Structure 1
Amino acid sequence: MLFLASRSPRRSALLVQLGLRFEVLDLAIEEIRRAGEPAPDYVSRVAREKAGAGLLQVAGVANARVIGADTEVVLDGEVFGKPADAEAAARMLRRLSGRTHQVLSDVWCVGSAGEAHASCVSEVTFSPLSDPEIAAYVATGEPFGKAGGYAIQGRAAAFVRHLSGSYSGVMGLPLFETAALLRQTGDL
């Protein structure tokens, strides 16, 4: 039985796109970067913690495998989490404006038979954004609950001048890497 340790509707939709049957686990994992922790290590740790917590939640389910994922926007070594409010979202977007940033996505699949892991790094270049464009975008509410304060699959697609890497990874679950993991576990 396959489980997704995420409340993200985007991650669920992406797994459905692969034709998978799974159940969603509702769990809360504290996403706090440790002092001095490199961004890739942080993203991998959080994804692993989600999968591990999910596996504990379904203990007793025969052949349970749990997918945990994390995605973060990184600019100049700084990890941009989800904006707490409109001011934080606008501040993030101003910093991303006219610049190239990285989007790090990690996926873990854990179960009683072991665990497997994959990472994906994408680069996204935003066009220069004016303050009125930023304010209008923030007013839509779309930046909230999104790493870096934007949704590439939404209105922010108009900001993206260039993408190198995985579109689905920027959304929150790199499908190529996830499919490879699930082929290893026999789920795909």
Structure 2
Amino acid sequence: MTPQLVLASASPRRSELLRQIGIRHLIHAVDIDETPWPGESPLAYVERVASEKSAACRALRGDALPVLAADTSVVCDGEIMGKPENGRHAARMLTRLSGREHQVYSAVSLRGDGHWQAVSVSRVKFRCLSEAEIGAYWDSGEPRDKAGGYAIQGLASIFIESITGSFSGVMGLPLFETAQLLAKQGIRVIA
């Protein structure tokens, strides 16, 4: 089947979410510098990174297919948490999230006939976690490449006391916002 767009991401979760809503796509991951700028707000950061990913992919491909990119950040006390560097770093992150609420910012950038962006901000509350749980979770391998050191769709789902916002946004691609952007490019999820 003919692809409808290019996903500028190697994330299997983003690809699966697009398949979930029936969007046929190619994958063309791009490597950009994702270092936050000094003083950059979490909102500005995810918008910039998603936009830079879609622009880089569009420039590399040079074809007519629209390009979809996204960026997701876990934010606690206004600080972007990033991905854990090692087990100790993951333990610090998860200990910080334990028993409290944090935000997950997920930006989407679509380049086709124009450039459109959208952002989802969700609030996630963790239950209190024990040191043993945090260690066992790291040992599972799941948190190694995940923003904030956890994957809501995996084992960490048992840590989530509540969520306000977009479950798919916390996974990495807010489907409500994505479908709205796709419609602007003439790609309808439900015809």
Measured against the shorter chain, the TM-score band is: over 0.9
How many Å apart are 1:187 and its aligned residue? 1.5
How many Å apart are 1:119 and its aligned residue? 0.5
Partner of 2:108: 107
Separation (CA, whole Å) in 1 of partners of 2:35 and 2:104: 17
Given residue 118 of structure 1, which amino acid in structure 2 is its aligned partner? A
Separation (CA, whole Å) in 2 of partners of 1:18 and 1:58: 24
Partner of 2:178: 178
Q: Which runs of 5+ in 1 are unaligned?
A: none
How many Å apart are 1:155 and its aligned residue? 0.4
Q: Which runs of 5+ in 2 are unaligned?
A: none
Separation (CA, whole Å) in 1 of partners of 2:116 and 2:144: 30
Partner of 1:29: 32
Superimposed CA distance per residue, residues 17-36 of structure 1 (whole angstroms, 9 cap, x where no aligned partner): 11011100022111100001
Partner of 1:95: 96
Partner of 1:143: 143
Separation (CA, whole Å) in 1 of partners of 2:146 and 2:159: 15
TM-score (norm 1): 0.97
Partner of 1:41: 44
Q: Report whether the alignment pairs 1:9 with 2:4.
A: no
Separation (CA, whole Å) in 2 of partners of 1:39 and 1:117: 15
Given residue 156 of structure 2, which amino acid in structure 1 is its aligned partner? A
* RMSD, matched Cα: 0.7
Show the 5 A alignment for 1:16-95: 16-59=19-62, 61=63, 63-95=64-96
Superimposed CA distance per residue, residues 36-86 of structure 1 (whole angstroms, 9 cap, x where no aligned partner): 111100010000000000101111x2x321001000000001101011111
**Deviant stretches of 4+, over 6 Å:** none
1:12 alignment partner, SS class: helix
TM-score (norm 2): 0.95
Alignment length (residue pairs)? 185
Separation (CA, whole Å) in 2 of partners of 1:173 and 1:82: 17
